[in-house]
Structure 1
Amino acid sequence: MDALVAGIKSSHIDSVLARETERFVATHPRSAALGQKSRAHFPDGVPLHWMTDWGTPFPLFVAKAQGASLTDVDGNRYRDFCLGDTGSMFGHSPEPILRVLAEQGGHGLTYMLPTEDTPAVGELLAMRFGLPFWQVASTATDANRFALRWARAITGRPRILVFNGCYHGTVDETFLRLDADGGAIHRPGLLGQVTDIATVAKVVEFNDLEALEAALADRDVACVITEPALTNIGMVLPEAGFLDGVRRLTRATGTLLLIDETHTISTGPGGWTRAHGLEPDFFVVGKAIAGGVPCAVWGFTAAVAQAMKAARARTGPGHSGMGTTLSANALAMRALRANLEQVMTPAAYAQMLAMSEGVERGLRRIIEVRSLPWHVSAVGARAEFVCGPTPPRNGTQAAKAMHGPLEAAIHLYLMNRGVLIAPFHNMTLTCPATTIADVDHLVATVAGACDALISGVES
């Protein structure tokens, strides 16, 4: 029997996937050769294993990228709506960042000492995000890890709490999920885990204030860490009053609140936090914050700063368990300053948001005209089409709307016609260099993919 998968016949998915795989192989011979050569010293031919997650028969090797465009080693050009999974959210190689790379290169890259950019960066961060105190790390993973360590030191509590389907980099305690019976389990695929995460963390569904209240009742949770909207299990938007409820419940139980805006910085110049008046104790943003140069920042309130000082006094001298040698290096600090001053501007966001609204409208029209049981969600410059009929309210529902072979067929179809979107699900991201022509090409190509899948023949 030819089963339907999100309104598409499974046989059609198979035929499109096979056809597009063959086409990819034919048009990417140099990538194939480089992948094979790299296997001599890199497993699967890539320097980090998740570079194989694109669903291609072999890794796609890049030659160059600029603005909203990327070119591979075979000369194929792509309109880039992935943008390094947010790392290049403001475009590849913005001009102010290029100047920083050229100028700082002759003055040393890392000293393990502050530079004159430090006070300026602090003022820019406080002004933009509304928190008075800041620290700088190399990745959002590090920033989240350090903030959670401080939360435990401040509160004396052993646990943190995450929402099912969350993603906060590779922080160990956040790799907790709910199973079909509502029990806490390790995230599937987790390697080398030697401790039971459920002993140091709790997990509840997003948008479930009743479950959150119950989990915080024992007052053993030091910190709730969450994105304002889940973005890495598909997109799960907060229901009206949910985030206010999270803040109310954390305050009532003496629990600190960390808002991770590494992806939702797509909302606007101050992220979701500034746009919607959130009041976190800790705030984290990474990836794009320095224009593609590895960097992350984490901010905190004056009350947290005082509590940190008291915790250090109690603990005494020694190693805090935080900090990496390259954190806040001279190059990162200068790029961070340039990005905040010259790249992450209101005008840049206006262009990004306008282009993403065009993507969202186009995707909705495709779904409506073809009567597909799909929907579209958006967070600022980030838009996603989901192969399910209704927006999910939690991670469990979002996971059920993921259909691996169907999404793989769509992604390959798009790549073969010069469009990149996020490889993990059907998420698009626009940058200041994205044009109306880019948006029109994306929408037309998604329409072609849908027609090919519906008909089972090449479109």
Structure 2
Amino acid sequence: MTQLAAALGTISPKAIAALHQQEAEAFLARRPQSCALFEQAQAHLPGGVPMHWMRDWGTPVPLVIDSARGITLTDIDGNHYRDFCLGDTGAMFGHSPAPVQRVLRDHAGDGLTAMLPGADAAVVAAHLAERFGLPYWQVTATATDANRALLRWARAIATLTDAKKDKVLVFNGCYHGTVEETMVQLHDGRTVNRPGLIGQIFNLSDSTVAIEFNDRAALSAALARGDIVVLLAEPVMTNCGMVLPDEGYWAFAQAECKKYGVLLAIDETHCISSGWAGYTGTHQLQPDFLVLGKPIAGGLCAAVYGFTAEVFAAMNRVRDQREPGHSGMGTTLAANLLTLRAMRAMLSDVMSHEAYAHMLPLAEYLADGLRALFGRHQLPWSIAQVGARCEWIFAPTVPRTGAEALAREDDHDLGAALHLALLNRGVLVTPFHHMCLVSPQTQRADIDALLNALDDCLLLLKHLSQPAG
């Protein structure tokens, strides 16, 4: 019996297929305009979408959104949804926060980009320094760009003292945007290119080493090699399914990095759900670099990366020695005037202590509600939670490593059927896993609606699993 089969209990694969078929038909019947637009869009958009992964939601046709406000999405057919995906963290504090709306309304006529800083830049940097404890900051267009930049800086800094250090260390199953060096995984103990990469012609194991999360021996062994320049990591893995650190793991990892002179870069892009200062501040981590993207400008394209005074001093030494020419970092539209104004509004007025005081208890309420629901249905499913971020897992225990999380991808059919059924009941969760975010606009009634909708889906699955007659 497979792990998934054990987790399903009395739910049969035929019932899952029947639920998916039933919900697909209902989805199409209620969304004629989305269907029509899909046919039209395919003339010029591959798959009918502007980004290819927008077809990965598992819906028969793309769900076309007309508006997104607070936590309410409305599609072009007039259907409303309680949004627990929230742009996979990009809108974690709600769609179109009022302070950002005011920035767009009041300052759109004051220039959008000029390749020069506005007065908001200094205020934003000071706020970031106070919040995260790192004194120096730079702004990019995406967290991917921020991660690329810090990897370049880390390698450049290493050449000042130890040219042998040139490799990046990551965790198996990691995600740091589309940075090439991180698109690897472990296979039979070896670091290899991640399957599915398009057009990848270089062997990424030449630049990167992958190990399992929470494996202390593997971490020590990798750092002892002497060729690792930086460990780039989410404090909680989130893209392969949430993988929480063992107690004391980050204290150990930080000590090992210091022991071997390896820089530590923490990617907070998803884990900002942990609290006002992210996972780093909540758990007193002390990284050399810190990256935050997605929600920091309220859904506009922006990210930041911060670094210590020691790193800044080393950067200056690199600048003093480098030849003239393009650094390989930076994009023309990064740190533009309008985005910095929006970022200032988010940091000052939206991503507040008060917001987290609302979000975190509600996320606990959601997690407790899911546990009670699965208990009533006698389903041995577990919950992983990081602050306002909550995910259910079709297994009795949460994974400890990326390999364990990736091994559970045989739950795709069940996940797809439940996501589609929840959509038809007016609830949206993150499609790639079963993750829900609680925002400052989320109310207990919204969580009750999610729990009731999921309860209805599970009851239907059980009914469909009963023998005919």
TM-score band, normalised by shorter chain: over 0.9
> 1:385-400 counterparts in 2 under 5 A?
385-400=392-407
Q: Does 1:136 align with 2:148?
A: no
Identity %: 51
Is the Cα contact below 8 Å between 1:219 and 1:255 reproduced in 2? no
Identify the residue that residue 55 of structure 1 maps to in structure 2: 58
For residues 83-126 of structure 1, give each alpha carbon's deviation from its aligned partner in whole angstroms, at most 9, with x where no partner exists: 01110000001100000011121101000000111211111010
Identify the residue that residue 241 of structure 1 maps to in structure 2: 248
Identify the residue that residue 6 of structure 1 maps to in structure 2: 7
Count of matched residue positions in the alignment of Structure 1 and Structure 2: 457
Identify the residue that residue 162 of structure 2 maps to in structure 1: none
**1:354 to partner: Cα distance:** 2.0
Structure 1 stretches lacking a partner, 5+ long: none
Q: Does 1:16 align with 2:24?
A: no
Identify the residue that residue 173 of structure 2 maps to in structure 1: 165
Q: Does 1:302 align with 2:309?
A: yes
- 1:437 corresponds to which letter in structure 2? A
Worse overlay, 314-323 or 66-75: 314-323
**1:185 to partner: Cα distance:** 1.7
> 1:199-218 counterparts in 2 under 5 A?
199-218=206-225
Partner-residue secondary structure (3-state), 1:203: strand
For residues 14-72 of structure 1, give each alpha carbon's deviation from its aligned partner in whole angstroms, at most 9, with x where no partner exists: 11111111111111111111111000000000000011110001100000011011000
Which of residues 115, 119, 127 in structure 2 aligns to 1:124? 127
* Structure 2: distance between partners of 1:220 and 1:456: 56
* Structure 2: distance between partners of 1:230 and 1:310: 34
- 2:450 corresponds to which letter in structure 1? L
Worse overlay, 447-456 or 48-57: 447-456
Identify the residue that residue 364 of structure 2 maps to in structure 1: 357
* Structure 2: distance between partners of 1:393 and 1:457: 32
Worse overlay, 33-42 or 399-408: 399-408
Partner-residue secondary structure (3-state), 1:6: helix
Worse overlay, 336-345 or 7-16: 7-16
- 1:64 corresponds to which letter in structure 2? S
Q: Does 1:449 align with 2:450?
A: no
* Structure 2: distance between partners of 1:340 and 1:140: 17
Which of residues 84, 100, 109 in structure 2 aligns to 1:81? 84
**1:454 to partner: Cα distance:** 2.4
- 1:167 corresponds to which letter in structure 2? Y
* Structure 1: distance between partners of 2:406 and 2:59: 22
Identify the residue that residue 158 of structure 2 maps to in structure 1: 155
Is the Cα contact below 8 Å between 2:12 and 2:465 reproduced in 1? no
* Structure 2: distance between partners of 1:78 and 1:5: 32
**1:317 to partner: Cα distance:** 2.0
**Off by >3 Å, runs of 4+ in structure 1:** 1-5
- 1:361 corresponds to which letter in structure 2? D
> 1:60-459 counterparts in 2 under 5 A?
60-156=63-159, 157-179=165-187, 181-402=188-409, 403-456=411-464
Is the Cα contact below 8 Å between 1:219 and 1:254 reproduced in 2? no
- 2:145 corresponds to which letter in structure 1? D
* Structure 2: distance between partners of 1:350 and 1:33: 43
Partner-residue secondary structure (3-state), 2:247: coil
**1:455 to partner: Cα distance:** 2.5
**1:6 to partner: Cα distance:** 2.8
For residues 125-172 of structure 1, give each alpha carbon's deviation from its aligned partner in whole angstroms, at most 9, with x where no partner exists: 100111000000010000011001100000122210100011101100
**1:5 to partner: Cα distance:** 6.4
Worse overlay, 282-291 or 213-222: 213-222
- 1:55 corresponds to which letter in structure 2? G
* Structure 1: distance between partners of 2:78 and 2:7: 35
Structure 1-normalised TM-score? 0.98
**1:292 to partner: Cα distance:** 1.0
**1:273 to partner: Cα distance:** 0.2
Partner-residue secondary structure (3-state), 2:321: helix
* Structure 2: distance between partners of 1:159 and 1:37: 47
Note the aligned Cα RMSD (angstroms).
1.4
* Structure 1: distance between partners of 2:229 and 2:247: 25
Structure 2 stretches lacking a partner, 5+ long: 160-164
